[in-house]
Amino acid sequence: MKSRIANGKPTWNATVSEPPDPMPTIRTRITDLFKIRYPIVQGGMIWAAGHRLASAVSKAGGLGLIGGGSMDPELFRHHIHCCRCETTQPFGVNIPLLYRHAEDLIQVALEEKVKIIFTSAGNPGKYTPRLHEAGCLVVHVVPTVTLARKAAERGADAVVAEGVEAGGHDSLQGVTTLALVPQVVDAVSVPVIAAGGLADGRGLAAVLALGASGIQMGTRFAATLESSAHPDYKQAVVEAADDSTVLTLLKTGPTRMIRNAFTQRVTEAESQGASPEEIKALEGYNRSRKGIFEGDRSEGKIEAGQSSGLIREVLTAREVIDRVIAEYEQTMKLLPIMERVAK
Ligand SMILES: Cc1cc2nc3c(=O)[nH]c(=O)nc-3n(C[C@H](O)[C@H](O)[C@H](O)COP(=O)(O)O)c2cc1C
């Protein structure tokens, strides 16, 4: 049995006084690119990744991202201001390009001089010239080699290669992280950040071996104390096993989430050949908010990945990062021993 959610209040420290940045212990192309200590990015997630999570991750040596997708432009601006008050370390934002207000969010990011912009679900080429002109780094999330090549050709400074194990929106092509990452590494010359199914230091060691320059974790950070996801969402992740999630809404926007009464109805409708319009009617409005932010475990979208099975407790963002680094170091120490045993 997994343990239950730890009791207590978020423990982030809202001061800007931070120790001087030591040399990175794991130096990669993305620690150099973003000027961060560890090659760990926190996915910018709707309803879960506000300023508290982003600043906590950045203070702990990773790269925190504010998830703009669920915010209106002025709320987004507020989160950027708060994050700046909470940390002097680099942080960025995530803007899913499929949303109608993406253009407005890009404008706010430019006005607020945010220098690291992650885009997803759309064509980054529309914005990269403007963003580069303003001195921003642009990173685009891709689910296939073809889209990785396109993103690099259109000026992305790095790509996130995200396998279908990932929580949230996924592609119907269904390429898994283990297969995707080395193929993207071979296909593009920009740094590759691996995402999907990664929640511990063994995963970090594995994808660095595949040629990635770091990891982006979503579900693991959504289930931290500083995440703005509802405690019942976090509890659902903690209780989930490897097979608790399902890729659903296949015709209207494939999304991985924890199975519940809502996913059951969608799966049944999909198997009976329901049209996209019928699925949209069944889905209704604001189900991600209902699941992630309001914690409705049966009727909301509890967007989470297959890595949920690895997540056994709600930790602080710093604890997550410290554990991932310690596990990575332990894994790297053990690898030569395993090799000798195999001979
Ligand atoms: C609750 C939740 C919301 C997400 N929202 C977004 C989003 O707004 N934009 C985006 O690019 N990715 C989003 N993602 C994907 C994450 O940024 C990340 O790439 C993914 O979760 C990695 O896989 P993992 O869940 O196995 O860690 C979301 C993921 C989760 C779990």
Tell me the domains of the chain and their CATH numbers. 29-229+313-342 (3.20.20.70), 231-293 (no CATH)
CA distances to 96, 222, 300 from 262, rounded to whole Å, are: 24, 21, 7
Say if ligand 1 is within 6 A of residue 292 CB: yes
User: Do residues 141 and 195 touch, judged by C-beta distance below 8 A?
Assistant: yes
First vs last C-alpha separation in the chain = 36
Say if ligand 1 is within 6 A of residue 222 CB: yes
Q: Report CA(330)–ligand 1 centroid distance (Å).
A: 27
Say if ligand 1 is within 6 A of residue 236 CB: no
Nearest CA to ligand 1 atom 12: 45
What is the pTM (predicted TM-score) of this model? 0.93
In three-state form (DSSP H/G/I as H, E/B as E, the rest C), the secondary structure along 64-104 is: EEEEHHHCCHHHHHHHHHHHHHHCCCCEEEEEECCCCCHHH
In degrees and rounded to multiples of 5, residue 212 shows phi and psi of -70, 160
User: Do residues 90 and 115 touch, judged by C-beta distance below 8 A?
Assistant: yes
CA distances to 2, 260, 284 from 273, rounded to whole Å, are: 38, 20, 18
Integer-rounded Cα radius of gyration of the chain: 19
Per-residue pLDDT of the chain (343 residues; tens, 9 = 90+): 344 344 333 333 444 455 545 555 799 999 999 999 999 999 999 999 999 999 999 999 999 999 999 999 999 999 999 999 999 999 999 999 988 899 999 999 999 999 999 999 988 889 999 999 999 999 999 999 999 999 999 999 999 999 999 999 999 999 999 999 999 999 999 999 999 999 999 999 999 999 999 999 999 999 999 999 999 999 999 999 999 999 999 999 999 999 999 999 999 999 999 999 999 999 999 999 999 999 999 999 999 999 999 999 999 999 999 999 999 999 999 988 766 676 6
Alpha-carbon span 58 to 116, nearest angstrom: 13
Say if ligand 1 is within 6 A of residue 192 CB: no
Tokens for 69, please give them. Answer: 């997708």
In degrees and rounded to multiples of 5, residue 5 shows phi and psi of -60, 135
Closest ligand 1 atom number to CA of residue 68? 8
By DSSP bridging, strand 116-120 and strand 137-142 are parallel
Task: Region of 216 please: left (phi>0), alpha (psi -120 to 50) or beta.
Answer: beta
Say if ligand 1 is within 6 A of residue 304 CB: yes
Which helix (H) or strand (E) segment holds residue 151: the answer is: helix 145-153
